[in-house]
Every structure is written in structure tokens, then in C-alpha cells.
A and B are shown apart, each in its own frame.
Chain A
Amino acid sequence: MINNYTLSIYRYNPETDKKPRMQSLEVDSSEVKGIMLLDLLKAAKDHDPTITFRFSCGAGICGSDGMNINGRNGLACMTQLKTLGDKIILRPLPGMPVIRDLLVDMNLFYRQYHSIKPYLQAEPPKDGKEHKQSISQRRQLDGLYECILCACCSTACPSWWWNPDKFVGPAGLLWACRFIVDSRDMKESERLEDLEGLYRLYRCRGIMNCASVCPKGLNPSAAIASVRERMLKKALGKQSYDEANQ
């Protein structure tokens, strides 16, 4: 049983600090009410209320508390303290402008998400009822729709660090895939065309950091591959695509 947790936290307030610094903190384990990193952070914040980070649901569904934990992106509320060892180093999600401490500006990330037109484009059925979607068609959405847009994946991606303004990034592309494979959506062709070019999708180099850090166990890399396949099929025409694959 650990008596004290030693935290090293990235601190930066642009109002008062010339440059960022790492602050060391000791927290008595008896003050930590729970087994997750977020519980430790809350206890730390009770001592020093100026430590700034986002959090809300505490159950890994709202996606607020993404951060870099011992060098790896994750959600504080889904990271068990016992997996972190004696010393815990916390930094903001990499490659994002820091607003204050662990709290980053997410606007570019959201803008890339918006750029893929993340909404169903379909004609409602004429009978006024629900679209019919078979169980297997619906299953296509599993592994995609569960994304919580925490940005752990995109901010772990070197291609995103390099071109966050032009590359949609793993999260946005996962959502693109979610709408492309939805049997109800009627804009597959337009959606695929929108991802053409050097940057929007093709900046993905298959590094797969995205899949390895996703706290929800999703695989943006596989989603990107499946979109690529559809783009190729579309470009070649189905027949030549099938021939090329024989």
C-alpha cells in the first residue's frame, strides 16, 4: 500500500508564468477517495485549488479529462492508480495549445470533427416510421459510434502534430467512417470525395498510436483503413478493384 503519491504536474498560467514548469506534489493516500487517477487529482486540487484541468462524469463517458499520463494519453477517470507506479507525471495532451496547466484549447480538434459533416444525411422513410436497419447493418456502427471525442487519439498522432489544420485526425476520420458505413446515410460518395487529397485522410501513416491509446478500446486506424478501401474501390470501380485483389 502506497502511503503517499508523488505527482509531477505541468503548470502554466500565461497570465503569470513566462514559461511552463513541472510542479512536484505529495498527496497522502488516505485523502484519495477511490482507485482512479482522477480521485488523486481531486485530492490534490483540494490542497491547491489553482491546479487546472477539466473533468466531469468520472466514469469514462463524457471525455473531459484526457491528459498525458506518464507519457501516454488517457483519461484520468479510467486510469487505475495501481497501474502507474510510484511517480506520476502529468502533462497536457500533446500538440494542443495550452490554456492553463492540463487544460488545452480543443477548438481545432472540434473543427476537424465538424469538417466531416458529422450528421446523418438521409431521406426519412415515406411511411413516417423508422428507417429499417437489420441487426447486421446496425452492427457496422459498433466500434465507431462509441467515440467520446476525448482527443486522446488525435493528440497521440504524429501526423496530427504536424498538420492539425489540414489532417482530419483519427477521431474525425473514425466519425467519417461511422457515417459512411451507416446503411441509412445517402452521402457515401460525397463523404469519400471530401476526404481525397494529400492531407485530410492520406496524412495517416498507419502509426497506430490512436488505437493503442483509445480509452474506449476503439480502433481509428482500422476505421481509416476501411475508408481508404472504399476510396480505392470508388476510384477503380468495383470490378477492377476486385480483379486487382485476386
Chain B
Amino acid sequence: MIMNDFKAREFDVIVVGGGGSGLRAAHTLSQSGLKVAVVSKVFPLRSHTVSAQGGINAALGNYGDDQWQWHMYDTVVGSDFLGDQDAIELMCKEAPETIIELEHMGLPFSRNEDGTIYQRSFGGQTLNFGQEVAHRTCCAQDRTGHALLHTLYQQNVAVATNFLNEWFAIDLVVDANGSVAGVSAIEMATGEIVFLKATATVLATGGGGQIFQSNTNAHICTGDGMAMVFRQNIGLQDMEMWQFHPTGLLGSGILISEGTRGEGGYLLNSNGERFMCDYAPHLKDLSCRDVVARCSMTEIREGRGCGPDKDHVLLKLSHLDPEVFIEKLPGITQIAMTYVGVDPRKDPIPVVPTCHYSMGGIPCNYHGQVLTVDHDGKDRKVPGLFAIGECANVSVHGANRLGANSLLDLVVLGRACGRYLQENIQSFTAVNPSHSDIERAFSRCKNLKKPSQGIDAVKLRKEMKKIMQEDFGVFREHASMEKGLKRLEVLRTMSKKITIRDQSAIFNTEMFNALELQNLIEVAYATAIAAFSRQESRGAHSRVDYPDRDDKKWLKHSIANADGTIQKRSVSKQTKFTAPIETALREH
């Protein structure tokens, strides 16, 4: 394999990742006449956005009166007040027009009798600041992510966006001043290495749920962008906040949409009890995901789990109108039948809380500009670097994301970043990295080819996943996290010495898997140090030894640094159009 010299290609903007946020940003950028390339390690339609099911929130009011301020309130409360209200305000306020725009692009939304977009109930969505359950979630049956991703791809075909498909981004190319000049990349089919130079680099690389043994994420969700940033000594924000989805399919972890509960389904324990009624009498099964996941885990831990191993709970749907399965939930009906042999029209589906989504990520503002915290605690922008989608932490989700707010995040903030670049890129100064700056960005790839190092990637991957699952899962405590973290530090060192057997230049999946594993271990490490440090329970971060929320010490974002240190960053309450929502206890 030739690795000694690289070619270079130059763009105004490169978008790394072809999922929902990347494609939304690329659409705006392509239309603006800038020279743009979407760089994706998979053909864009294979991106994990395609797996989203339940829907996308917007206060359209198609079911009855609704207001974006109510949606904002739910999002802030759902975030356990760790969300930044400037960004949440933008997301909820722009939600309706963004959804209408998607409809105009062709997204095949489900419909009401009057021809308007159908809206279902979803977890944590209420009317009038926490009153009755809202119907705010627009959907295309239970295949909303698929419909959204295909629609955005189609619109990019219409505007002739330039795609580099099956190109793997290795690392950021950064000059001596810390300005980002693009990425080092490999064309996967040929093994050719290329420096993709750009005035602005937008990371839209998605989540990293593959750090956990049991997750709903695709194989490709390996936290590539987060790790690329972390390796440049830019801290990652709120990495302890991983969402466990209450209804991952037992065994495979495949997602069963929250839309099932939105349409009237509910969870049962081994006694046949609808346990959410006891834990959360107001919203019951439509409580926030962190709450429902904890309740399910508590049922299982206290011996009321189902099945011979008492290791799961049941999702009951058989009482729903048969039409619902055809019109609203055809996808999960097919999934349950294919993967566990259960017909949900007759029998309940075995489900278990499963790692689903990273609230944490690359800290940035709502233009997508990546931020670091300097020694005085002030935000500093990283020149040339942007982040959108699940890899970013704006933070619109804080400590717990509401269902159907992730697709919304992708399109609102993807568009915002595209617009910002369109308007401001002329004022950016070009970065000219030295030859060694560029070489450095290819070094990970070269090291894998050295024969003498001998660390086996398969074993490493299995051990990392086991540690994360056992020591950093739904419930966490000091001693087991300390033990897990120590071992992760060892694995992190080992990950730099992985050796691969495959020496071919042609679609060397062993090499890409090794690069991805190195990324995952960085993400796991950032998660571990952040979780170990945050001595409170907030949102998805639940500490057995610190069961209460501690606003005095921890109403702060955590910043996990590659050297193992933790910094804190203030949470924004800088709203423009409505009064900020005051911190209060979450009621269930």
C-alpha cells in the first residue's frame, strides 16, 4: 500500500458525513454556489439517520392549539435544565417552517383527514407548560428517518451536490495556530490518500453508540468526528450523557419506536403490571426516555423482569386498533416478526433499555462553530471548524433528549450552519498548513501498517464494550466507574498499537474498523472521565451514590479533555424571543 505521498483537493467547504444534518447543510451550501463536497464513509443513504422511526417534533398545531414556546418548555425540562436555551429557542421556533420545508421537498408525511401533516404523541411532549399530552410529532408512518434521509438526498441530487462517497476521513489537518484546514482522507475503493483542503470543515459524523455492547446504533456509529476533535486537544462536552432507549429489542438491540407508546402502547413487568403508572402517574409510558429507562431497569433489578432470565420487560400493543399497525406502525410490526418472531398484534414485544443516542459531543454554538474554553473560562472559537447533528453538542438536548427532537436538531441546525457559512465564509482567512501538519494527520493510518505492534483489534473492541456496558450503563457508581476507567486507560494506550493483517489497498475494511475502534476508545474514555467526575444525577446520568441533582455544583456543562482533566462551562439562558425557563425540579 502506498502511503508515502498524498494528493490534495481543494474546496470552500467539506461536510464530513452524509446523514441528515450533513445533507441538510450541503443542500443550502450547494445552492449558494460555493464549492462543496460531502465526504462520507458510506453511500449517504446508508447513514444512520435512515434508522430513525418515530418522527420529528414541531408545534404545527395540526391536532389542536400548540405553540413553539410549549415545545421549548418541554425540551428544557426534558434536558434536566442542562440544555442551552439560546439554541433550544432557535430549534423550537424554527421547527414548524423547517418541517414545512421538508414537506415541500417531498417528504411523504402521514396525513390527517383534512390533508394536513399527521402528528402523534411522544415522550415528554405536553401542552401549555406541562399540562396534558401534546400531539406534536410529525411522521412518515414509523419510517420517518428513512423518509427524511431519502428526501434530503434526493434534493441534493436535484442541486447536483458533489459527493465523495466511500471516502474515510482519518483526522483533522490543523496548522500551528490551531486553525483547521480540512481533513486527511482515504478513498476506500482504491486506498488512495488525499488531503481534502477546505476553508471550512463541517463535522456531521453522527454518534458513537458502538462503545456499548448493547445499542440501537448502526455499525458505522463510531464517533469519528468526536474523536478527531478530541485528538486535537479540543474538549468534548457532556459526554457522560448517553441516552438509553427504553425499547430496544431484546438480543439484537434493534430500535422499537417510541411511536409505539405514542400510539397507545405500554410497558408491562412479569406480574403483568403497567408499572409506569406507579412511577409517573402524569405522563406514564410517555415520560421522558431517561425516566422510563430507569424504571424498566429498576423493575428488572428488583426481580420483576420477564422471561426465563428475568432480563427484560414487555411492550404491549395488541389492544391497539388493527388499522394502527397498517397505517402508523408497519415498520416495527415487520421488525418484531423478523427479529424475535413476535406478532405485536397478538403478543407483547420483549424490550430492554438499550444505548441509543449521545447527547454529548463537540461543543459548538447554534451556527455550528466549534468552541473551546480557555483558561479564564471564556469561549473561544476554533477557526475553520464546525459541527452539526449528533456529533455536536449545541446543546439542544442537555442531559436527556426528547424523542423526535433529534431529527429536528439535524435539519434546523444543519440548515443554520449552512446559512452561516453561506453568509460569512468570505471573511474567513485561508489556512495553509505545513507539509508536516498534513503528514501528521495521516499518521494513524501509517502506524496500523507496522507489523511489530501486535495488539488484536477484536479482543480490544470486545473488552471496551464490556467495560462501558457494565460500568457506565443506566446506573453508575464511584467504585465500578473507577475500576472501568483504569482499565480504559490501558486499552487507550493499547489502541495506538493495533496491528492489522490485511495489507491490501483495496477496500481494506480491517483498516477502517481499526481506525474506527481507535475513535470509539477515545469516545469511551471521554465518556468515562466525564461520568466519573459528575457527582450528581441529572437526566440520563444516574449515580447510585449521588441520587440527587446538584444545581449548585453541576448546573454546568462538563468538558472532558484528552489529558484526562475536566472543565466546566456555563449553561446558556440567553433567549431572544421569550423569557428563559427557570430551573425547577422535574415532576413525574
Contact = CB atoms under 8 A, between A and B. Distances in A.
A153 B55 CA distance: 28
Interface string B131-169: 000000000100100110011001101100000000000
B106 A120 contact: yes
Interface string A107-151: 000100010011110101000111111110110010001101100
Interface stretch (A2-10, A50-58, A199-207, A235-243): A50-58
Interface stretch (B266-274, B372-380, B496-504, B538-546): B496-504
B103 A15 contact: no
B509 A119 contact: no
B501 A49 contact: yes
A148 B106 CA distance: 16
B586 interface: no
B115 A49 contact: no
A135 B111 CA distance: 6
Contacts of A132: 114-116
Contact of A50 (B218, B251, B502): B502
A99 B115 CA distance: 47
A184 interface: yes
A145 B147 contact: yes
A205 to B, nearest CB: 28
B418 to A, nearest CB: 18
A58 to B, nearest CB: 7
Interface in A60-74: 60-64
Contacts of B100: 128-130
Contacts of A141: 108
B506 A64 contact: no
A171 to B, nearest CB: 12
B318 interface: no
B504 A13 contact: yes
B510 interface: yes
Given A56-B42, A60-B338, A122-B104, A138 B50 contact: no
Contact of B115 (A120, A133, A179, A217): A133
B342 interface: no
A49 B510 contact: yes
Instruction: Tell me if A's interface is mostly helix, strand, loop or mixed.
Output: loop
Interface string B43-63: 101111011000000000000
A56 B255 contact: no
A99 B189 contact: yes
B429 interface: no
Given A132-B115, A138-B111, A58 B504 contact: no
Interface string B104-121: 111011111111110000
Contacts of B109: 130, 138
A24 B237 CA distance: 48
Interface of B: 42-43, 45-48, 50-51, 99-100, 103-106, 108-117, 140, 143, 146-147, 150-151, 154-155, 157-158, 189, 218-220, 251-252, 254-255, 331, 334-335, 338-339, 457-458, 500-502, 504-507, 509-510, 513
20 contacts: A53-B509, A55-B219, A57-B219, A58-B218, A58-B219, A62-B48, A62-B50, A78-B338, A105-B189, A106-B43, A118-B154, A119-B158, A130-B103, A130-B109, A131-B104, A133-B111, A135-B111, A146-B143, A148-B45, A179-B106
Given A49-B509, A57-B50, 17 more contacts: A46-B458, A49-B502, A56-B218, A58-B219, A59-B254, A60-B335, A61-B146, A61-B331, A63-B46, A105-B189, A119-B155, A124-B104, A130-B104, A137-B111, A138-B108, A138-B110, A146-B143
What are the 8 A-B residue pairs with the smallest beta carbon separation, nearest first? Answer: A120-B106, A132-B115, A49-B510, A119-B154, A130-B103, A119-B158, A57-B218, A56-B218
